[in-house]
Amino acid sequence: MDNRLFWACLTAVVGVALVSESFAPCAEFYVDPLHGRSDNDGSKERPWKSLQELFDKGLIESQTWESLPYRQGVKLVPRNPGAPVKPGDTIYLRTGDFGDLRIQGYYNQRAITIAAEPGHAPRFRRIHIQSGCHWILRGLYVSPEYGEGERPQVMIRLESHGWRGPVHDIVVENCHLQSAADTSHWTADDWNKLSCDGILADGPRITVRGNYLKNVNFGISVSGPNCLVEKNVVENFAGDGLRGLGDHTVFQYNIVKNCYDVNANHDDGFQSWSVGPGGVGTGVVKGVVLRGNIIINYEDPQQPHRGTLQGIGCFDGMYEDWIIENNVVVVDHYHGITLGGAVRCRIVNNTVIDPNTRRPGPAAIRIGNHKNGTPSRDCVVRNNLASALDVRGENMTVDHNLVVDHPEEFFLDLARYDMRLRPDCVAIDAGTTELAPSVDILGVHRPQGKGIDLGAYEYCPTEPGQANQ
């Protein structure tokens, strides 16, 4: 698949920014592990040597809890007052190895940014933010191959801690994570022993944007509410590509591809489940949006350790008020998009196709009962192209969908995963505008013709950028 086509045509993506108030002008500091010195002042001309030392020596002004263990109502008090680095500042990192970074108990009033200086590639073995807020990590490289030591289970961990307090309002963007640069020689046992999880976050208002994750176990997992996961690429993974357990979280315009089937995990491009008083499957996950994501089981039919992949798999509801729109799912499993226990959810304008005719399959859009027998109800399945449909429940609306038996009649090039519509495709103008997204997966406005097209792509004879003008 040509990722450049996807990103070049993508427009009108919703961004999330941290709220800023009127503070003093922001300062910039520099860390250079090759040429810096610990006794420097952190200026561009006299950079510090170690990022971790800034925390260990109290050189960052922040806040922390007045007492521990953390409990509801406890107050934040100043930490390192008068330190040179203050809320709102940026710490630029230069090329070199930074080892392990651990940030614990730093609650900033305004975001402090830790970023690669333009043209530089700072490298970490792992990054762990525990019990803190308002941090931005930008342009960093993370891999257990960058240095020696115990192999991390998670490369970037944003952790709420029962004793030390929650984590929230963190941004991780434009970072590059990989368990290893080359896994072509890895056995199944190597994948199980050597692959690390990518990004794991369990607090509210976490943004994970524009990152590239390669050769990982689980890709990106967020469990807090009101998070945003967008424009990331997860390439080569052995667990699940994306996981979302929190309410009102948005997953949009991500690419998840190439699953390695090396253990008993039932692999999913995206997975969610509820947790309630009785454990898994006894709660509700509300208001999640899955928009414009591309999930592909395999690009190379000869890929080693290739197995089946479930696309969007949500089996332990209930799931309430979800929007699943403009996604492309190409998997050889009957769980293309599956909700087990759904209420007022809508699945609109998705393309869900099986790349082959082997079992298990064909890839379907499915809504069914919760595992405890509670029926789904009041859902809408509309304007989709799918290899199969299986929608059951009470007061379900299923209309303007097409079952695709011969993909070559619908798509420009299934073998290359170009799922744009052919000019003679029967899906063109066959949909309805009711509840349909106003743009397609590439940002092309709907409709371009007499009616809404089915699936994730609106047929556009001109270039997508021209169609939006």
Question: CA angle 106-196-131, nearest 5°?
Answer: 15
Element (H, E) at 115: strand 107-116
Q: Which domains does the chain have, with CATH numbers?
A: 25-265 (2.160.20), 276-469 (no CATH)
pLDDT category of residue 284 using cuts at 50, 70 and 90: very high
106 CB burial (10 A radius; 0-12, 13-18, 19+)? buried
423-451: pLDDT as tens digits: 999 999 999 999 999 999 999 999 999 99
CA nearest 30: which of 101, 88, 102, 113? 113
Per-residue pLDDT for 217 more than 90? yes
Query: What is the predicted pLDDT for the residue at 356?
Result: 85
Segment 82-104 shows an average pLDDT of 98
Q: 198 CB contacts (<8 Å, ≥6 apart)?
A: 154, 155, 156, 177, 211, 213, 216, 217, 218, 219, 220, 234
What mean pLDDT comes out for the span 169-187?
97
Are 138 and 113 in contact by the 8 Å Cβ rule? The answer is yes
User: How far is the C-alpha of 134 from the C-alpha of 96, rounded, in Å?
Assistant: 25
Cα–Cα distance measured from residue 19 to residue 302, given in angstroms and rounded to the nearest whole number: 48
pLDDT over threshold 80, residue 74 = yes
Q: Is the pLDDT assigned to residue 6 strictly greater than 70?
A: no
* The pLDDT value given to residue 4: 40
The owner of tokens 């929230």 is 168
Average pLDDT score over residue span 293-315: 95
Quick: pLDDT tens for 357-396. Answer: 888 889 999 999 999 999 999 999 999 999 999 999 999 9
Residue 286 contacts residue 248 (beta carbons within 8 Å): yes
Closest CA to 108 of 66, 59, 68, 61: 61
Q: How far apart are CA 412 and CA 296, in angstroms?
A: 16
Contact 255, 276 (CB under 8 A): no
Predicted confidence at residue 402, as pLDDT, reads: 97
> How would residue 148 be classed by pLDDT, with cut points 50, 70 and 90?
confident
422 pLDDT band, cuts 50/70/90, is: very high
- 365 or 7: whose pLDDT is higher? 365
Is there a contact between 126 and 36 (Cβ–Cβ < 8 Å)?
no
Cβ-based neighbours of 312, under 8 Å, separated by 6 or more: 268, 269, 270, 271, 290, 295, 324, 327, 329, 335, 336, 337, 338
Q: Residue 232, CB half-sphere, CA atoms under 13 Å: how many?
A: 29
pLDDT value for 464: 52
Alpha carbon distance 443, 421 (integer Å): 15
* Coil, strand or helix at 37: coil
Least confident interval from 117-126, 193-202, 454-463: 454-463
Mean pLDDT of all residues in the chain? 93
Written as six digits, the tokens of 273 are 């489940």
The per-residue DSSP string of 226-256 comes to: S-EEES-EEEEESS-SEEE-STT-EEES-EE
What is the CB neighbour count within 10 angstroms for residue 24?
Answer: 10
* 349 contacts 431 by C-beta, under 8 angstroms: yes
* pLDDT interval class at 203 (50, 70, 90): very high
Longest pairwise C-alpha distance within the chain:
70
Query: CA-to-CA distance for 259 and 317, rounded, in angstroms?
Result: 25
The residue ranking higher by pLDDT, 414 or 359, is 414
Measured CA to CA, the distance from residue 280 to residue 272 in angstroms comes to 11
pLDDT score of 136 more than 50:
yes
- What's the confidence (pLDDT) of residue 24? 59
DSSP state of 247: T
Name the amino acid, one letter, at 24: A
Q: How many CA atoms lie within 13 A of 463 on its CB side?
A: 8
Confidence of residue 3 (pLDDT cuts 50, 70, 90): very low
Distance CA 247, CA 231 (A): 20
Q: How confident is the model at residue 328 (pLDDT cuts 50, 70, 90)?
A: very high
Q: Which of 19-23, 282-286, 360-364 has the lowest mean pLDDT?
A: 19-23
Average pLDDT over residues 250-270: 96
Query: Span 13-38, mean pLDDT?
Result: 70
Residue 332 pLDDT > 70, yes or no? yes
Say which amino acid occupies 188: A
pLDDT reported for residue 149: 84
Q: What is the mean pLDDT of residues 29-49?
A: 97
Please state, for a pLDDT cut of 90, what percent of the chain lies above it: 89
Tokens standing for residue 65: 């809890």
